[in-house]
Amino acid sequence: MRLLLISNSTMAGEEYLDYPKNNIKDFLGDKPVKALFIPYAGVTVSFDEYEAKVKAKFNEVGHDIVSIHHFEDPVKAVEEAEAIVVGGGSTWNMLHLVHKNNLTEAIRKRVISENVPYIGWSAGSNLACPTIKTTNDMPIIDPLGFDALNLIPFQINPHYLDKNPDGHGGETREDRINEFMVVNTDMYVAGLREGSMFLVENGKINLIGKLNCRIFKNNVQAYELSPKDDFNFLLK
């Protein structure tokens, strides 16, 4: 299984999908790949517009995409995909359409049994988790079930951030993850800061990026691991 699970598409002030483009290039390899793009998280952007944005960046690094909304049979599109790419936006809208189009088992089969590379960012990284219960997004639509692809056995919290804006009295992200752990006692949560990504291949997982990742487990004090540390316990 080969996964590239990216926290966020865009660093503040930078171009869309710019910072991870070379990681995507390396992950897909030297031979040009035309990946299947799943734009379902896009809500305030049309699927055509979303495809064009992502395609432009993939083309910059010698690869290409085609969006699943052009196919009459989305399950068949997954069955024939060279690689699968799931973009960010609304995790809820994404999972709603993944479920509605019966894609869960098709994607799992390709990625787990047939070694088709999977790239996700933001909502697309949450989709690789057991559930979407660690998304930050507003639940604008019933996802038709909280279960996601379960490609990895732990939860990612993408866009992990440490503080509230000044003067804001609500719960911090860490407070929210602490609530998750009380209700989901057996699950690790990885707080994946912006600019970070997980690379899963050959049965191993590595953190890529400049920042640490924050690890949460029920009844354990949350702690930091750096890109040099061993994250393989997360896959057990």
Q: Which residues bind a second copy (CB under 8 A)?
A: 8-12, 14, 43-44, 89-90, 93, 122, 132-142, 146, 159, 161, 163-171, 175-180, 182-184, 194
Q: Which of 7, 90, 122, 125 is catalytic?
A: 122
CB of 194 to a second copy, least distance (A): 6
- 3-class state of residue 34 by DSSP: strand
Q: d(Cα 161, Cα 150) in Å, to the nearest integer? A: 24
In the bound state with a second copy, the residue whose beta carbon lies nearer, of 163 and 228, is 163
142 is catalytic: no
Q: Which of 63, 67, 69, 137 is catalytic?
A: 137
Q: d(Cα 135, Cα 155) in Å, to the nearest integer? A: 9
In the bound state with a second copy, the residue whose beta carbon lies nearer, of 117 and 191, is 191
Q: d(Cα 127, Cα 4) in Å, to the nearest integer? A: 12
63 is catalytic: no
CB of 106 to a second copy, least distance (A): 24
CB of 132 to a second copy, least distance (A): 7
Q: d(Cα 216, Cα 7) in Å, to the nearest integer? A: 16
137 is catalytic: yes
In the bound state with a second copy, the residue whose beta carbon lies nearer, of 183 and 236, is 183
User: What Å distances lie between residue 126 and 90, 120, 157, 161, CA to CA?
Assistant: 11, 8, 7, 16
CB of 184 to a second copy, least distance (A): 7
Q: d(Cα 115, Cα 142) in Å, to the nearest integer? A: 31
Q: Tokens 């949350």 sit at which residue?
A: 222
In the bound state with a second copy, the residue whose beta carbon lies nearer, of 1 and 211, is 211
- Annotate 132-149 with b (16+ C-beta within 10 A) or e (fewer): bbbbebeeeeebeeeebb
CB of 115 to a second copy, least distance (A): 31
Active site residues: 122, 137, 159
